[in-house]
Amino acid sequence: MSELYFLASGERLLGTDQGPVILSGPEMNKLNTVAVLKVGEVDSKHYFVALLSDEEPLKDILKSDLVGLRSLLALVQSEDEYCLLSTASQLVTWFYSFKYCPRCTAPLELHKDERAKVCHQCGHHQYPRISPCIIVLVRKGEQCLLAHAAKFASGRYSTLAGFIEAGESAEQAVHREIMEEVGIKVKNLRYCFSQSWPFPHSFMLGFMAEYDEGEITPDGIEILDADWFDPDKMPVLPPRFTIARRLINQFLEEIGREIEPDSDLFFPAE
């Protein structure tokens, strides 16, 4: 099997508007690396992410041409590509975020067999962090609830989402987040699908819910505006690679509406 390598400098995957930088095994022999982490296997090819040392120049790549992870994800053409990029990004974040043992503060080292770091002083194993979250589309007849968060670009609206807190079930988190962010109650929760979300290490559990009672009241901190939207009068929506867009697409299909061409490219709404 052939080996292919994503490149990372610091905590950033390297890529341009043409896609991520990927090198072959022989090309990697010329580079100085801090670590090489296994990402996954697709179509009989082994993928790794190579973390370049600080002294390694970005050969043949202009820093001004580099783009962020969201831009790279927007270019992917399959679910396999998305998962490879998501995994590579999260592994890079994990590698640099956990340098020392959280129990005894001794330096952590990569485990020789597992995807983990190990403390040789106290024996603690540190695995890549995964933060579970819920994301939910609320329906009210043939309308859906979409919100504009403080962190969003101007005009963009999306579904509601939040982290699952200690001791909560995913369903409890759905009810709590919706009440906290927009002040309404929901019912008839239905789990739909999930998505690994590398910003920086979230795992999104997607739900549909039906409106029960209450008036929409944005919290004014995380959510600046929220409203019920008709399928024919949608605002600017999340990009196609997001689970939020997948939930919106499923809603539209369930009420018999067509989705935009290519908006459901590789994550089918069913």
Q: How many residues are given for the chain? A: 270
CATH number of the domain residue 34 falls in:
3.90.79
264 located within any domain: no
Among 259, 171, 264, which residue's Cα sits nearest to residue 209? 171
E strands in 21-85: 22-24, 33-42, 45-52
> What integer pLDDT is reported at residue 267 of this predicted model?
67
265 located within any domain: no
269 located within any domain: no
Low-confidence ranges of the chain (pLDDT < 70): 59, 264-270
CATH number of the domain residue 176 falls in:
3.90.79.10
> What integer pLDDT is reported at residue 55 of this predicted model?
78
Same domain flag for 139 and 30: no
Give the separation between CA 252 and CA 237, rounded to whole angstroms. 13
Same domain flag for 142 and 240: yes
Q: Domain range holding 106?
A: 99-129
> What integer pLDDT is reported at residue 261 of this predicted model?
73
Same domain flag for 18 and 35: yes
> What integer pLDDT is reported at residue 266 of this predicted model?
66
Same domain flag for 118 and 224: no
> What integer pLDDT is reported at residue 60 of this predicted model?
75
259 located within any domain: no
Q: State which amino acid sits at residue 221.
A: I
Instruction: Kindly state the tokens that stand for 128.
Output: 């890549």
Same domain flag for 121 and 93: no
Same domain flag for 218 and 145: yes
Same domain flag for 195 and 174: yes
Q: State which amino acid sits at residue 122.
A: C
Cβ contact 181:223 at 8 Å:
yes
Cβ contact 81:43 at 8 Å:
no
Cβ contact 181:218 at 8 Å:
yes
Same domain flag for 123 and 137: no
263 located within any domain: no
pLDDT digits (tens, 9 = 90+) for 115-171: 999 999 999 999 999 999 999 999 999 999 999 999 999 999 999 999 999 999 999
Number of structural domains the chain divides into = 3
78 located within any domain: yes
165 located within any domain: yes
Among 6, 92, 94, 86, which residue's Cα sits nearest to residue 45? 6
Same domain flag for 147 and 184: yes
Same domain flag for 79 and 136: no
ω before 107 within 30° of 0 (cis)? no
> What integer pLDDT is reported at residue 264 of this predicted model?
66
267 located within any domain: no
Same domain flag for 81 and 137: no
Same domain flag for 24 and 54: yes
